[in-house]
Amino acid sequence: MQIVIFSAEPYDRLALDDVNRSFGHELVYHEAALSEKTAVLASGFPAICIFVNDQVNANVIQTLAQNGTKLIALRCAGFNNVDLAAADAAGITVVRVPAYSPNTVAEYTLGLILCLERKIHKAYLRVREENFALNGLLGSEMHGRVMGIVGTGKIGGLVARYFTAGLGCEVLAEDVYHNPEVIAMGVKYVSVDELFRRADIICLHRPLTPNTRHIINADTLRITKPGVAIINTGRGGLIDSAALLDSLESGHVGGAALDVYENEKQLFFRNLSEKVISDRIFRRLITLPNVLITGHQAFFSAEAMKSIANTTLENVTQFPAGKVDKEVIVSAR
């Protein structure tokens, strides 16, 4: 099948071309993101492949449908950037990669937490400047602390395992579904309010939905423990960034490690080193000494990229015969 791939970076091409040797699709790459202006680039292609920050609103859907697109294949798990109702109405099927390598994101989450709590990122910069003083680098060990995990799917469940079996933390969890494997680790499911009140570190692994948007906000931050750390490798919209900034500046929140940001679409996956970033909240966050931000790279491992490429191309392969796994289809219905 012919597939046009938007937001294509060199590493996307490398992974997709390598895996495509066993599929034989015709892949056409565009560095440009999908938007109302670029949707015409998909004219005549039955399938398109997109990433997290591509814009797939009702107008884009209409253009795609008019020009022959029948399948939107997300090479990611999240789908909040797609107007699913519009896709359903236009007869366009939307598929995703629900799970690629949960170890990749879970391990990165662990790395962010340890880096933040032991100030490794600050120490690294000091040593590069030949400053070996330890003042200001006093950290805290993890053993015995209370970890709160919001969302215990495959990634959250692995994070829970790391902190119970590996680091000896008390782990509290919140989720609609109480994962029996997580319970078997000794993790206690509690209400989100109790988790916020008791946790020393709050780690976010929920999908972004209308119910979870800004789950971290001024009100929920107000009930958290003084000095709490907020970790987000899930979705940027889970956090009200302005409220988090206020709590960091007041000293109530002790630190934050973020791999995602609610307004990242204008920032991440591009080199902006020669530009002035106009997002004042983001600009302030990156100046704070107790904030660690990375550019949405928790998913970025060789193993995950290969898995994402394989599932994406398998989804496209199965589509013409109507054999796409129901688990990968997303719909507003």
* Active site residues per annotation: 235, 264, 296
Beta-bridge partners for 147: 171, 201
Question: What does DSSP say about strands 188-189 and 291-293: parallel, antiparallel, or unpaired?
Answer: unpaired
Radius of gyration of the chain (CA): 21
Q: Cβ distance 329 to 114 under 8 Å?
A: no
Distance CA 37, CA 42 (A): 11
- What residues are paired with 197 via a beta bridge? none
Residue 113 in tokens = 């937490």
Quote the tokens at residue 159. 């994070």
Strands 253-258 and 228-232: parallel
Strands across the sheet containing 26-29:
26-29, 2-5, 47-50, 71-74, 93-95, 329-330
CA 112 to chain centre: 14
